[in-house]
Homo-oligomer: A and B are copies of this chain.
Amino acid sequence: MSSLKDRFTDYVHQLQDRICRELEELDGKEAFREDNWQREGGGGGRTRVIEKGEVIEKGGVNVSAVHGELPDPIKQHFQVDQGWFYATGLSLVLHPRSPMIPTVHANYRFFELYEDAEQSRVADRWFGGGADLTPYYLWEEDAVHFHRTFKQACDRHGKELYPRFKRECDDYFYNHHRGEARGIGGLFFDYLRGDSDHTDEDWFDFTTENGEAFLDAWRPIARRRVEEPYGEKERYWQEVRRGRYVEFNLIHDRGTLFGLKTKGRIESIFMSLPPRVRWDYDYRPEPGSREEELLERLRNPVDWI
């Protein structure tokens, strides 16, 4: 039986293929373009981006599998003098054209640390990932569906997992400088290591089951809301809110900042940024409007289930 790392690497590549195929079918107009890139220190990635589609205005579904000596910022982070690593994962962000369809982000990853360049002595390993939803207009049933889908993926591995990772998601995707959440949350998990409750194999199953849940969580919402009419006003609001997405990713997102520090491939990292964005000075939605209602819901975490 091949190693966790090889199996997870295979998995994310397969998942990328599947998600891209399904998203192209959903979009009906545009296809993903692919960029293969190499990392100087070892490994590389397969970046796939779709732009100016009918349903997806901009989206990226990337995988990478990189390895080598730990870059200096990671050594500092883990407080080690030397070390080698292998990291693989899938990361996706979809910015729909219609403001009625929420933006979605998901990420599934595996990290392994070694004492030697040959990767023969494993020092540590863990899984991480999650998914979160950023609506511009809120339908409660969409939020419930999204959370419920991932709760099901969690529950089979322990009833305590959904509440725990749901809370971590609320904490993480928060624009502290605005006092509001990026969106209505989902799951966030990291450093999932084998222990007395869960083996590494359990976490492998848990993480891949989350990967499987992604399309079920988002696609029905997109299909439902693509029918909703919208105009210039809704589009304006979408562009203002996308500004908050940019703020989160460039100011707070650890993944993005880590990618910049370790000199990751800029265009692959920044595929997450929305296509068109607007910053008005002190923009405030009309009192009592659906736009204001959304803001109210983003002030404090909601128990959606």
Contact = CB atoms under 8 A, between A and B. Distances in A.
A18 interface: no
Contact of A275 (B271, B278, B282): B278
Contacts of A58: 279-281
Contacts of A282: 35, 49, 267
A260 B49 contact: no
Nearest to A260: B177
A247 B277 CA distance: 13
A273 B266 CA distance: 21
B281 A278 contact: no
Contacts of A278: 275-277
Nearest to A273: B279
Contact of A250 (B246, B274, B280): B246
Contacts of A111: none
A281 B243 contact: no
Copies in the complex: 2
Interface in A31-61: 35, 49, 51, 58, 60
A178 interface: yes
A270 interface: yes
A8 to B, nearest CB: 26
A4 interface: no
Contacts of A250: 246-247, 250-251
Interface residues of A, number: 29
B51 A280 contact: yes
Contact of A276 (B177, B260, B276): B276
A117 to B, nearest CB: 28
Contacts of A247: 250
Contact of A251 (B35, B239, B243, B260): B260
A46 to B, nearest CB: 14
Interface string A267-300: 1001101111111111000000000000000000
B279 A243 contact: no
A119 to B, nearest CB: 29
Interface in A214-256: 239, 243, 246-247, 250-251
Given A49-B282, A251-B251, A275-B280, 13 more contacts: A58-B279, A58-B280, A60-B281, A239-B276, A246-B250, A246-B277, A250-B250, A250-B251, A251-B260, A267-B281, A273-B279, A274-B279, A276-B276
10 interchain residue pairs of minimum CB distance: A250-B250, A273-B279, A49-B281, A267-B282, A277-B277, A177-B260, A276-B278, A250-B251, A271-B281, A177-B266
18 contacts: A35-B282, A51-B280, A58-B280, A60-B281, A177-B260, A177-B266, A239-B276, A246-B246, A246-B250, A250-B250, A251-B257, A267-B282, A271-B281, A273-B279, A274-B279, A275-B279, A277-B277, A277-B278
